[in-house]
Structure 1
Amino acid sequence: MDFDFDMGARPVVIPRGYRFKAAVDAEGIVAKFGFVGSGRQVGEYAVVDGVNEHGFGAATLYLVESKYNEGPVAGKQNLASYEMVPYLLGNYTTVAELRDHLDDINIVAVANAFMGNIVVPLHWIVADDTGDCAVLEQTGAGLELFDNPVGVMTNSPDFGWHLQNLKNYPQLQPTQAPARKYGTLNVHGFGAGTGAVGLPGDYTSVSRFVRMAFMREVGEKVSGQANAVNTISHLMNSVDIPRGAKLMDNLSADYSQYRAYCSLSDRTYFLQPYDDQTITRVQLTEDLLNADAPTEFAVQHQQQFVSVN
């Protein structure tokens, strides 16, 4: 989650049957299923990522090319863009189920006061515990769900553009680049890592997509929840934005406020904040799912050190 102002997010569990106040639909949004994710109460709980009790996960990313409808449509679930994650996690069990019910959803161009009264341009990555992964976008041709063969998504441009851009990088490899002759000169690389020369290292969403697609493909495959979270954390280090490295037009620092990991197989959410690398772990339980109200969990914001004598 990269922003230039503090989002104040923390892990929150939304129980089964919780009714969200909605910007368009007077009846609100009912979450049939409970879920855990990162959220904040701003009049209503705003949740931007998470996993539900059925192992279905979703996360929000920016897409400036988004084009939403001007008004509600009778017979559909009418949603503001920022309400999509609570709706998806609260009502779907698999990506396949979402594919079958895509026509039930209408995204309306509604401004969000917390975000400065703008229509927040978003798209979403969704996945389930079968390994099915897809990207949800609306850019003018209606709401579309695209299969995601690389399992990665970042911000703009649209998903199809990112996939096409990967064609610029088929030469990337984790092994050492082979020697090459230039005339009569036989040239060897400087050593291990030369196979990845050309991997983009800046903080644009375009470069981060390529970098994470490469890291995900070549990174060590491990088993077990602890090993998986540890490995993913190391992979995410390659796209983490420290304060000061990426400045907005007004010179405010856009930085990685937190990193979140979802274990879809056992319905567990992990949040790792910028100011403290300690990971907070929340697993869905029947008590949390059947609670009368959402449950919030505090996160650490002070780095702890262990002294070794």
Structure 2
Amino acid sequence: MVTVCTSILQIAKDGSHILARTMDWHVLAVQPLFVPRGYQWESVYDNRVHTNRYAMIGGGGAHHHEIDVSDGVNEMGLSVQKLTFANGSQLVDEPTPGRVQLAPYEFSFYLLGHYASVADIEAHLDEIQLMTNRYAVNDIGHAELHFAVVDRTGRTVVIEPTHFPLRVRENPLGVVTRDCLKTKNS
């Protein structure tokens, strides 16, 4: 069975923005969660301790010494979703000193805990590397993910780990989905 989660930006009559989604999973392993401001967690990639600046609510679950967030919104109105990505994530093998290394599935939690807006993310995105399992302290597998992000201004972007440094791509339609079609070259 192929899972195809889809992210859809909803705009309410009052102009507020809601990042909605489908979760087409075999088993829904997501629970409601609240994470307080100042929460400390360890990256599964390198056991580095991070302290979240912002509180958040969302869906996910506790794993290891961190929280796996499928989607959420922080107290500044930043919403992030991680979705399955079928276009070939290009993760980083070799960690660069002075940058933050994360398992790909930790990225949504990190963004929600550290940034207030898309502009804030853009200003710091080159400091973050999504890593392969090669030098990981713990087995992190190989997650094929991309990320939908919207802030309280309604700016909607996609972050896909297809090159580094990471960069945002504007998403004026507010829809993100996995490409499930096989091409002749696949």
Q: Normalising by structure 1, what TM-score?
A: 0.47
Asked if structure 2 preserves the Cα contact closer than 8 Å seen for 1:49 and 1:59, the reply is yes
Which one-letter code corresponds to 2:74 in the other structure?
N
C-alpha separation in 2, matches of 1:110 and 1:37:
27
Rounded Cα–Cα distance in structure 2 between residues aligned with 1:10 and 1:141: 32
- The AA in structure 2 aligned to 1:59 is Q
Name the counterpart of 2:91: 68
The equivalent residue for 1:84 is 107
1:103-144 CA-to-partner distances (Å, cap 9, x unmatched) read 111111139xxxx96311111010111011100012135412
Aligned equivalents of 2:151, 2:125: Cα separation in 1: 16
For the residue of structure 1 that corresponds to 2:40, the secondary structure is strand
Please give the alpha-carbon distance, in whole angstroms, between the structure 2 residues aligned to 1:55 and 1:140. 27
Q: 1:21 aligns with which of 36, 42, 49?
A: 42
Q: Which residue of 2 aligns with 1:147?
A: 170
SS in 1 for 2:154: coil
> What CA distance in whole angstroms lies between the structure 2 residues aligned with 1:117 and 1:102?
21
Any gaps of 5 or more consecutive residues in structure 2?
A: 1-22
Q: Secondary structure at the match of 1:138?
A: coil
Match of 1:50 among 72, 86, 90: 72
SS state at 2:34 partner: strand
Task: Give yes or no for the alignment of 1:98 onto 2:127.
Answer: no
Shift of 1:20: 1.6
| Alignment map for 1:154-303 (pairs within 5 Å) | 154-156=177-179
Q: Mind listing any 5+ residue stretches in structure 1 that lack a counterpart?
A: 157-203, 207-309
Partner of 2:145: 122
> 1 or 2 for the larger relative contact order (CA 8 Å, sep ≥6)?
2
Per the alignment, in what secondary structure is the counterpart of residue 175 of structure 2?
A: coil
SS in 1 for 2:119: helix
**Greater strand proportion:** 2
Residue by residue over 1:234-255, the C-alpha shift from the partner in whole angstroms, topping out at 9 and shown as x without a partner, is xxxxxxxxxxxxxxxxxxxxxx
Matched residue SS, 1:20: strand
Amino acid at match of 1:95: V
CA drift at 1:148: 0.7
2: CA distance between counterparts of 1:205 and 1:99? 31
Percent of aligned positions that are identical: 34
**Pick aligned residue for 1:34 from 47, 55, 58:** 55
Query: How far apart are residue 45 of structure 1 and its match?
Result: 2.0
Give 1:86's aligned amino acid: F
Structure 1 residues 73 and 141 mapped into 2: Cα distance closer, same or farther (>3 Å)? closer
Larger radius of gyration: 1
- 1:50–1:73 distance in 2 versus 1, CA, 3 Å: same
Give the direction of change, closer, same or farther, for the CA distance of 1:36–1:110 in structure 2 (3 Å limit).
Answer: farther
Runs of 4+ residues over 3 Å off in structure 1: none
- Paired residue for 1:201? none
CA distance in 2 between counterparts of 1:139 and 1:45 reads: 24
Greater helix fraction, Structure 1 or Structure 2: 1
Q: Could you say what the CA RMSD is over the residues aligned between the two structures, in angstroms?
A: 2.1
Distance 1:134 1:51 in 2: 15
Q: State the match for 1:8 in structure 2.
A: 29
Instruction: Report the 3-state secondary structure (helix = DSSP H, G, I; strand = E; otherwise coil) of the residue aligned with 1:58.
Output: strand
What is the one-letter code of the residue matched to 2:131? V
Task: Tell me the distance in 1 between the aligned counterparts of 2:75 and 2:175.
Answer: 23
